[in-house]
Amino acid sequence: MVASLLESGIIEGRERPRTASFLQSIVSSLMRTRPVNVDVKVNDGDVVEGYRAIYAPGHTPGSTAYFKDGLLFTGDTITEHGGKPALPPRGFTLNMDKAMRSFNKLLSLRPRVIYPGHGSPISLGT
């Protein structure tokens, strides 16, 4: 498991996640997940298996994307809507201003394909 150092405490069950809305707190309470060990804890700019970790806060404080050779794996920082990149839903995003800055930062990398956490891959052909 590779994850942001900022998110590792939540993933490993040592910290509770913050929620963006009442709806998200209800959904989170219904989703039972077990903690897992994070084998590799990354900081912004670290390289793992050739992929550069890029901090992209907004959806969560430690949201991290991974970029290599025009391929961008974004988790929930970018979602797919109608075949195009979109911001994550407001009700599930802790800080929309940071989310917008991260969205623009990631698109400025000019990826050929974005693999969002939800939805289909997005081919940008850049």
Q: Name, in order, each residue with C-beta under 8 angstroms of 40's C-beta and a sequence gap of 6 or more.
A: 1, 2, 3, 48
pLDDT of residue 92: 77
Q: Name, in order, each residue with C-beta under 8 angstroms of 104's C-beta and a sequence gap of 6 or more.
A: none
pLDDT of residue 84: 94
Band (pLDDT 50/70/90 cuts) for residue 113 is: very high
First to last CA, the chain: 30
Query: Which phi and psi (to 5°) does residue 68 adopt?
Result: -160, 130
Give the count of beta carbons closer than 10 Å to the beta carbon of residue 10.
20
Q: Could you tell me which CATH number the domain at 2-123 has? A: 3.60.15.10
Specify burial of residue 5 (Cβ count, 10 A radius: 0-12, 13-18, 19+): middle
Mean pLDDT of the chain: 88
Looking at the whole model, is its pTM more than 0.75?
A: yes
pLDDT of residue 94: 78
- Tens of pLDDT along 35-69? 899 999 999 999 999 999 999 999 888 899 999 99
Q: For the chain, which residues make up each domain, given as ranges?
A: 2-123
Helix (H) / strand (E) containing 42? strand 40-42
Tokens of 69: 């050779």
